[in-house]
Amino acid sequence: MTSILRRTRNASKWTSSLRFNHHSQGVRTIHSASASTTGTNSVNTDEIAHFSKLSSEWWDEKGEFNFLHKMNPVRIQFIREKMLEVAQAENPDLDSGDMLTGLDVLDVGCGGGLLSESLARLGAKTTGIDASESNIAIASLHAAADPKLSPEGTTPNLSYLHTSAENLLPNPKRYDVVCSMEVLEHVDNPATFLATCAELLKPGGHLFLSTISRTPLAYALTIFMAEDVLRQVSQGTHTYSKYIKPSELVQFFRDYPQQDKSNPLSGSSSSRPWISTPSGSNYLPRMEAELRGLIYNPFQARWHLAPKDAWGALECNYIFWVRKPMES
């Protein structure tokens, strides 16, 4: 417990040196700063209120969250394929199989439980958390209707908590996998949020994130078309200035963790950068990190996982995987 609390204090100390650069256009980028202070809470109360009002629509496949229902199988596909790729790289004799079985998985910002339920059905011991109490209520109610997911089931793999990621840090439990899908573009203090997700992982654990890039195309598709023209998403759901480019996310994990060398207790539980390639490089070692575009085909009404390094695929929605280094 002492080591957990020490790492928690270290994570808070590291994130206190992070800030977001607000340019004249109102956009922000992740970068480290030698002296600044930020809040330790990433929850935006306006965002929570917005999604709480929509909570009853989570399981309406033709409603507000239509796009997420269609995206969910592609997100699951990427998670399963990446976990298997890593496992087979470490054990070449390993046959194909589902690498999620029996793993402790945390779904941060789980909403109504779309991803959480899928992970639990694949055998992962899944905990879904959300800062919206009404989201957790809907997620719990939906899961209770399935005997395999119900807490009263013979092998319950799914539980929900009304809490934020930051509130989990003092607890000793750490996870094999942390997922946070379509959440990063809605939080305050994204650097704090990312560092919190990182700290909640076990050494060697996997972090999966999906979000939206800050590009003119992303604005045109996710705000102008989806919200203002087609009205398929409620107006005010997205804020362009909160979108984060893939390169900024990669650079965050190149710099993480940052250590105060004058303090022997500083730094995270791992002192190695999560991504070893230098700034400016487009190369990501396949056992350290990966970026893939998520492309929506309106003619097929389906999402597709873009091939690796496909031109232009990261201009709007994308998914990101990074692995926490093993303790040396």
Average pLDDT over residues 41-65: 83
Separation of alpha carbons 232 and 222, rounded Å: 10
Separation of alpha carbons 114 and 106, rounded Å: 13
Q: Determine how many CB atoms are found less than 10 A away from the CB of residue 306.
A: 20
pLDDT in tens, 106-149: 999 999 999 999 999 999 999 999 999 999 999 999 999 998 88
pLDDT at 12: 43
End-to-end CA distance of the chain: 20
- Residue 222's nearest CA partner among 204, 234, 209, 210 is 234
Q: Is the dihedral of CA 71, 73, 74, 76 positive or negative?
A: positive
Phi first, then psi: give them for residue 214, nearest 5 degrees.
Answer: -95, 85
Contacts of residue 279, defined as CB under 8 A and 6 or more positions apart, other chains included, come to: 251, 254
pLDDT at 97: 78
Lowest mean pLDDT among 20-24, 184-188, 288-292: 20-24
pLDDT at 328: 63
Q: What is the largest CA-CA distance in the chain?
A: 58
pLDDT at 56: 85
pLDDT band at 43 (very low <50, low <70, confident <90, very high): confident
SS3 state of residue 184: helix
pLDDT in tens, 203-236: 999 999 999 999 999 999 999 999 999 998 999 9
Separation of alpha carbons 322 and 328, rounded Å: 18
pLDDT at 245: 97
Decide if pLDDT at 187 tops 60: yes
Decide if pLDDT at 15 tops 90: no
Decide if pLDDT at 309 tops 60: yes
Separation of alpha carbons 133 and 52, rounded Å: 8
- SS3 labels along 256-303: CCCCCCCCCCCCCCCCCCCCCCCCCCCCCCCCCEEEEEEEEECCCCEE
CB 109 within 8 A of CB 180: yes
Decide if pLDDT at 70 tops 70: yes
Separation of alpha carbons 119 and 127, rounded Å: 10
Q: Cα–chain-centroid distance for residue 225?
A: 25
CB 150 within 8 A of CB 181: no
pLDDT at 28: 55
Average pLDDT over residues 183-202: 96
pLDDT in tens, 235-282: 999 999 999 999 999 999 999 985 444 434 344 445 789 999 999 899
Q: Determine how many CB atoms are found less than 10 A away from the CB of residue 52.
A: 17
pLDDT at 90: 92
pLDDT band at 161 (very low <50, low <70, confident <90, very high): very high
Q: Cα–chain-centroid distance for residue 283?
A: 21
Q: What is the mean pLDDT of the chain?
A: 85
CB 304 within 8 A of CB 297: yes
Residue 43 vs residue 216, higher pLDDT: 216
Decide if pLDDT at 64 tops 70: yes
pLDDT at 24: 32
